[in-house]
Amino acid sequence: MVSNGSTELWFPIADLLPLVDHCVVAPGHAADPEHGTVPLLQLTAQGAALFYLSTNAVPALLVDAFDPSSMQRVHALGHSHHSSGTSYPAPEDRYGPPTLLGVLPVRTDRQELFATLLDQLGTAARHGRDWLVVTLDPAGHLDWYLHPTPHPAPAAEWRTVRLELFGLPGVWPGQIVTNDTHLGWLRPRFTRPVAEQLAAAITAATWLPHLVTPIQLTPDLTGDPADTSHNGIEVVGPDPDGFYRVGDGWHWASLDLLPNGILAPYTGPSSEQTRPRPVAPGVNHSPASRPTSPCGPPTMTRRVWMSGVA
């Protein structure tokens, strides 16, 4: 049950695909009052506890070749009469007669905004989606969407990398959290000596990139590192591990993350002579080797997260 009083039913796509494939190529289909003789998934309830999907294909797929009533079906998660989710029919004398609740056209677009159910089921595995979620609202209307198997969020871990800040020359050794980014940019922390070097570089800079402000380090442990600001100067204290989380939300990137993921060029002002070229591991990426834009700071690349620590 969801917040608006609707019922959500989860069906494993891997089990549905054989039924859907058979329904599409079947020589005939049982007629539906609204949709006619097009391929359909049929949502059926049996009693108050059982829900399953079947098709209107003629002839139907049978679980028992000698029992014409043994039409193959896929029960919703937690709504089967057997712990294994068997596709055999549930006995009516125990669970009651089946009641058709509604149908889902296999090939009809939803308001022409989405691919057909058939197309989405066929490509679900490629996109990491394992479940067809069917929603039945109190008025009896059906809707659906695909969903991956829910997993708990991964634990936060710190990885040592070399970090670069867009617009500020230099490379700083630090650590990044592996299970989170800020709009695709890394979230780093540094030892006290490295943080002092970074603070000095920011103070000496004649131009500061967007969001970057001068910083002042304090030995005082703060509940939320980098949580205070005085006269435009960010005061940063150590975290519980003794590191300084400088520039959370700034445009941090690291070439150490190659070759996984994609590096996309920064889209700021540049000319043909200063446009960044594709980079590769093993190439000298020091600030001195980078072209300098006549419009301001050195042009840098931004990490676009496709895999790894996205």
Whether 234 contacts 224, CB under 8 Å: no
* Residue of higher predicted confidence among 33 and 278: 33
- Residue 280 domain-assigned (yes or no): no
Looking at 101, 124, 147, the residue that finishes a domain is 147
- Residue 72 domain-assigned (yes or no): yes
Looking at 112, 147, 182, the residue that finishes a domain is 147
Give dist(CA 255, CA 232) in Å, integer: 30
Residues 136, 188: one domain?
no
Residues 182, 132: one domain?
no
φ/ψ of residue 88, rounded to 5: -70, 150
Structural domain containing residue 174:
158-269+285-304
Residues 81, 23: one domain?
yes
Residues 35, 142: one domain?
yes
Looking at 147, 167, 200, the residue that finishes a domain is 147
Whether 305 contacts 181, CB under 8 Å: yes
The number of folded domains in the chain is 2
Check residue 27 and report its DSSP letter: S
Residues 46, 83: one domain?
yes
* Residue 4 DSSP SS3: coil
Instruction: Give tens-digit pLDDT for 290-301.
Output: 433 333 433 333
- Residue 310 domain-assigned (yes or no): no
- Residue 256 domain-assigned (yes or no): yes
Residues 125, 209: one domain?
no
- Residue 111 domain-assigned (yes or no): yes
* Residue 83 DSSP SS3: coil
Compute the Cα dihedral for 145, 148, 153, 157 and give only its sign.
negative
φ/ψ of residue 292, rounded to 5: -105, 130
Whether 55 contacts 19, CB under 8 Å: yes
- Residue 81 domain-assigned (yes or no): yes
Residues 18, 126: one domain?
yes
Q: For residue 135, give both structure tokens.
A: 């929603």
Residues 30, 164: one domain?
no
- Residue 76 domain-assigned (yes or no): yes
Residues 190, 82: one domain?
no
Predicted TM-score of the model (pTM): 0.55
Instruction: Give tens-digit pLDDT for 141-166.
Output: 999 999 988 878 778 899 999 999 88
Is residue 19's pLDDT more than 70? yes
- Residue 67 domain-assigned (yes or no): yes
Q: What 3 state SS string does 258-283 have?
A: CCCCEEEECCCCCCCCCCCCCCCCCC
Residues 124, 228: one domain?
no
Q: Of 109-118, 130-139, 147-156, which has the strongest mean pLDDT?
A: 130-139
Residues 130, 15: one domain?
yes
Give the rounded percent of residues in the chain with a pLDDT score beyond 70: 75
Residues 72, 181: one domain?
no
Q: Is 20 exposed, middle or buried (0-12, 13-18, 19+ CB in 10 A)?
A: buried
